[in-house]
Amino acid sequence: QKSIIMAAVKTLRGLLQELRAASPNGCIKNSLASRYILGQYKKFQTTDQQLCKARDEALSLGQTYLTYLSSVRKYNELYKEFH
């Protein structure tokens, strides 16, 4: 259980970091994307005594989005460097 929570926190921080990197001014406080992500994380919070398949699916989806966002950022960096 604790490892799942730690993975969720790590994924959330990564997502917010990628959104910050993609933002023109680096501020995501009022962004719809950051509000949506935080809302989804709050929605799927569970207590230590609950087993929640939806929470695990949400974590997997968050990790997928994080991989996508970081890959797009890295692609754009490489594209700018070589073109």
pLDDT (mean) for 60-65: 93
Look up residue 31 and give its two tokens.
């962004």
Per-residue pLDDT band at 34 (split at 50, 70, 90):
very high
What Cα–Cα distance (Å) separates residue 10 from each residue in 24, 63, 69, 75, 77? 23, 9, 15, 22, 23
Q: Determine the structural domain holding residue 15 and report its residue range.
A: 2-82
| Count of domains for the chain | 1
pTM over cut 0.85: no
Helices (runs of H) and strands (runs of E) counted in the chain: 3, 0
Check pLDDT > 70 for residue 3: yes
What is the per-residue pLDDT for 21?
93
